[in-house]
Amino acid sequence: MYLEIKKLEKVYKDKIAVKDFNIKLEAGIYGLLGANGAGKTTLMRILTGLIESTKGFVLYNGVDINKMGNQYCKNIGYLPQDFGYYPEFTVDDFLMYIAAVKGLDHTDARKRVNEVIDIFTLAEKKNKKIKTLSGGMKRRVGIAQAILNNPKILILDEPTTGLDPKERIKFRNFLSKFSDDKIVLLSTHIVSDVESIANKILIMKNGKLIDHGTSEELLERIEGCVWECNFNKKMADSFQMKYLVSNLKTVGEIATCRVVSKNKPTEEAFEIKANLEDLYTYYFNKDGEVE
């Protein structure tokens, strides 16, 4: 099983949202990283079949998804950044409704809804109206509806927004098991979620795929470019104007700074191991380059 994206482009009037995007996805978890406006959501909507590309193709096992119609839709699970729901529906009613929309018969729908309610610990809330739930609980309902049809391709746009740390860990553990024989594409601003579970990471900027690989492969790009240094906190503002700072912590009068730079930022700075947040800083700084 594979999903191949070939020379994909999407143009909205005078804006190119996705440009010359090429990659082949096989079973596993793919983390999609990019700043706001990078084109991530547009790409995901094309992959789900909700919108068509201006140019290029998306092939599922070699077949154009636009020619597959409902056969392709049956293989898709999707959680948009802002998923729609009927506020007067209870959790149980909503999931049963979505199961019917996805083509499950009543018996299979009842069984599957019970399963996802258990997976995402929704039993105590299943008879509550969705509009009364907290943001994190609504997100859990959104994730649950995305997997009702046990999809071969699961596409998740900011799935952990609103989840507390314990819920995020449980969700990551679920995805790791779920992705054994499936393609999971996960877009998030919470870099630690991607770092923990993604088999490969896709870096998207200005509509283009600018890099991809395992986290280890990508971190090699900034080997020798991450430093830690201490200085008086009064210097913090001027220091951040001069360097790319991925983290700043102050204790008393001392500021400890994590810096992404090709050059040693201060005489006392020492090199440290890079992480994905450093990589994100490297790719999405204002000028696009590390000094």
Show Cβ contacts of residue 9 under 8 Å, excluding neighbours closer than 6 positions.
16, 18, 19, 20, 21, 53, 54, 55, 56
Instruction: Count the Cβ atoms, other than its own, within 10 Å of residue 11.
Output: 14
pTM, full prediction = 0.92
What is the CB neighbour count within 10 angstroms for residue 164? 11
Average pLDDT across each block of 10 residues of the chain; the chain has 291 residues. List them in order: 97 94 97 92 96 97 95 95 89 96 95 96 96 93 96 95 87 90 91 87 96 95 95 88 92 93 92 94 67 44
Residues making up the chain, counted from first to last: 291
Q: How far apart are alpha carbons 250 and 55 in whole angstroms?
A: 50
Distance CA 207, CA 16 (A): 7
Q: Where are the domains of the chain?
A: 2-219, 222-283
CB atoms within 10 A of CB 101: 12
Are 202 and 31 in contact by the 8 Å Cβ rule? The answer is: yes
CATH T-level fold of 2-219: Rossmann fold (3.40.50)
Q: Report the pLDDT value the prediction gives residue 32, as an integer from 0 to 100.
A: 96
CA distance from start to end of the chain: 42
Q: What pLDDT shows up at residue 84? A: 85
In this structure, the number of other CB atoms found within 10 A of the CB of residue 150 comes to: 15
Helices marked H in 35-164 — which ranges? 40-48, 70-73, 91-101, 106-119, 135-146
The pairs formed by 205-209 with CB atoms below 8 angstroms and a separation of 24 or more are 205/34, 205/35, 205/38, 205/283, 205/284, 206/19, 206/38, 206/39, 207/10, 207/16, 207/17, 207/18, 207/19, 207/21, 207/38, 207/39, 207/42, 208/19, 208/20, 208/21, 208/39, 209/21, 209/22, 209/23
